[in-house]
Structure 1
Amino acid sequence: MKVSDILRVKGGTLYVVKPDDSLTQAMATMAEKDMGSLVVVEGGAVVGMLTFREVIKDVVRHNGQVAQVTVRDAMEKQPLLCTVDTEMDEVRRMMLERHARYMPVMDGSMLMGVVSFYDVAKAVVEEQSFENQLLKAYIRDWPQAENATDNAAG
């Protein structure tokens, strides 16, 4: 399974923020849209990632006074990136190694979406469920008569 498979199911809604936007406005967008992350874009390029983890760290760092803080001050400046062709096993490995919960998906220089750890876990569970159904169907269709004859002869 590839990242493109997840994006196809997930849909195309994508929210971004600029590095010079206020952290307060970014937090309001995240709360309003019930999102855990925003991709930070400048000049058409991905320059960072803002997640609730960075927001919380910056709120604590500034004792709750974030009115003058920009997204640039809080964002992860070197986020993990993947492509639409990246295999899910690779995305899982990358996310686990970096403790990342969100990963922007690129197609060349174009931002295609974001996959979350939840999206990855859901895809894995659905894939395993499908494989289990196939295995159960295969086992149900196992030729019982031949198997019983073979066991009796041996």
Structure 2
Amino acid sequence: MKVSDILRVKGNTLYTVHPDEHLAQAVQTMAERDIGSLVVMEYGDLVGMLTFREINLVLARNGGSVGTMLVRTAMDDAPLTCTLETDMDEVRRMMLGCHARYMPVMENRMLMGVVSFYDVAKAVVDSQNFENKLLKAYIRDWPQEEPSQAQS
């Protein structure tokens, strides 16, 4: 299974933010949209990711306030990325290795979507459920063995 398969099912709704936007506004957008990340774009290029992890770090450092901080000061400026052709096993390995919950999907410097750890887990479970259904159907239709003549 490839990243493109997940995006096909998930859809291509993207939420982005500019690095010079106020962090409080980005937090408001995330809360209103019930999303855990925003892709930070500047001049059409990916420059970072803002997730609830980065926001929590800012809140911890500043006594629970984001004040007038900008997204630029909180974002991860070197996020992991993948392509539409990246295999899901590779995405899972990358996400687990770096504790990443969100990964931008890039194709020739163009943002194609974001894959979350939830998306990856759901794809694995759906794939396993489909495989289990096929195996159960195969077992149910297992041909009966003819009793051998030697046993008489």
TM range (shorter): over 0.9
Please give the per-residue CA displacement for 1:119-139, whole angstroms capped at 9, x wherever unaligned: 000000000000111111111
Structure 2 length-normalised TM: 0.94
- In the other structure, the counterpart of 1:128 is 128
1:32 partner SS? helix
* C-alpha distance in 1 between matches for 2:53 and 2:47: 17
* C-alpha distance in 2 between matches for 1:3 and 1:92: 11
- In the other structure, the counterpart of 2:70 is 70
Structure 1 length-normalised TM: 0.93
1:60 Cα offset (Å): 1.4
Please give the per-residue CA displacement for 1:55-111, whole angstroms capped at 9, x wherever unaligned: 010011122332221101000111010001101000000000000000000111110
Please list every run of at least 4 consecutive aligned residues from structure 1 whose deviation after the TM superposition is greater than 6 angstroms: none
What are the equivalent positions in structure 2 for 1:50-129 lying under 5 Å apart? 50-129=50-129
* C-alpha distance in 2 between matches for 1:94 and 1:114: 14
1:145 Cα offset (Å): 2.8
What code does the residue aligned with 2:6 have? I
- In the other structure, the counterpart of 1:47 is 47
1:82 partner SS? coil
1:131 partner SS? helix
What code does the residue aligned with 1:71 have? V
* C-alpha distance in 2 between matches for 1:55 and 1:102: 14
91-100 vs 62-71, greater mean Cα deviation: 62-71
Instruction: Give structure 2 stretches of 5+ with no counterpart.
Output: none
2:145 partner SS? helix
Size of the aligned set, in residue pairs, is 150
CA RMSD, Structure 1 to Structure 2 (Å):
1.2
**% same residue:** 68
Instruction: Give structure 1 stretches of 5+ with no counterpart.
Output: none
* C-alpha distance in 2 between matches for 1:58 and 1:67: 10
1:145 partner SS? coil
Please give the per-residue CA displacement for 1:31-71, whole angstroms capped at 9, x wherever unaligned: 00000000001111111100001001001112233222110
1:12 Cα offset (Å): 1.4
